[in-house]
């Protein structure tokens, strides 16, 4: 990603409040100065379309046949990447805990597949989707992510691209520099931006 692209993605994230900056208590109980609500950027179709195009640009020369996304988080960005590439967009979803291809979606043997997800941390879901694709005879060409939040990039075995790499630092409440500074603590879902 060029610096201009990263700056643009970051600006869009902040503008849409997909990335909140402040002082937050995470569900783990730890405190952090940043919080991601990736769905917020995708509630804006024009932003989703732009991000899809930026991610698709990384795979233009890869002769992709179909984009596959894990439900639910990957569906919108997967759709937009597929639109930008002019190819099919399908998704996999869990049925009794197992990642499955339902709704009549299918992969034809030898089809070239791009797996797209919104946020990657451990890469668990996308690895399951990749296995599903390979079991159907498809060829995984690469993985595309809106945000890579992994501390160690998951080893996926194919080209992997993300629009933004962002490690979120977090602290034990007893050792939180933001608490020491006296910055009010917000729970995500409240209005830490002070909006109404
Ligand atoms: Zn704190």
* Ligand 1 centroid – CA 23 distance (Å): 6
Task: Tell me the CATH number at 74.
Answer: 3.40.50.2020
- Who has greater pLDDT, 11 or 168? 11
pLDDT higher at 148 or 111: 111
| Start-to-end C-alpha separation, the chain | 35
Distance from the alpha carbon of residue 13 to the mean position of ligand 1, in angstroms: 23
Do both 173 and 158 map to the same domain? Answer: no
- Report the separation in Å between the CA atom of 7 and the middle of ligand 1, taken as the mean of its atom positions: 27
Domain count, the chain: 2
Confidence (pLDDT) at 158 = 79
pLDDT, one tens digit per residue, over 156-181 is 877 899 999 988 889 999 999 999 99
Residue 177: its H or E element: helix 177-180
d(CA 86, CA 66): 9
> How remote is the CA of residue 176 from the centroid of ligand 1, in Å?
4
Average pLDDT over residues 131-151: 93
pLDDT in tens, 59-89: 999 999 999 999 999 999 999 999 999 999 9
Same domain for 148 and 63, yes or no, is yes
Rounded CA gap, 97 and 6, in Å? 35
CA–centroid distance, residue 178 to ligand 1 (Å): 5
* Contact of 93 with 99, CB cutoff 8 Å: yes
Domain of residue 112 covers 48-165
Compute, in angstroms, the gap from residue 177 CA to the centroid of ligand 1: 6
């Amino acid at each position: 990603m060029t610096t201009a692209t990263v700056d643009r993605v970051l600006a869009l994230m902040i503008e849409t409040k997909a990335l909140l900056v402040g002082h937050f208590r995470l569900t783990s109980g730890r405190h952090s100065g940043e919080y991601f609500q990736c769905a917020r950027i995708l509630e804006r179709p024009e932003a989703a379309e732009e991000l899809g195009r930026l991610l698709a640009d990384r795979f233009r020369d890869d002769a992709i046949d179909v984009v596959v996304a894990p439900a639910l988080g990957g569906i919108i960005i997967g759709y937009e990447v597929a639109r930008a590439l002019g190819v099919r967009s399908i998704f996999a979803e869990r049925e009794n805990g197992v990642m499955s291809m339902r709704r009549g979606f299918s992969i034809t043997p030898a089809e070239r597949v791009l797996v797209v997800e919104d946020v990657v941390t451990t890469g668990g879901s996308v690895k399951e989707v990749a296995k599903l694709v390979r079991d159907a005879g498809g060829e995984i060409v690469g993985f595309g992510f809106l945000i890579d939040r992994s501390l160690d990039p998951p080893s996926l075995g194919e080209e992997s691209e993300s629009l933004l790499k962002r490690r979120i630092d977090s602290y034990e409440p007893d050792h939180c520099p933001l608490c020491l500074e006296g910055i009010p603590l917000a729970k995500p879902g409240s209005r830490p931006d002070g909006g109404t």
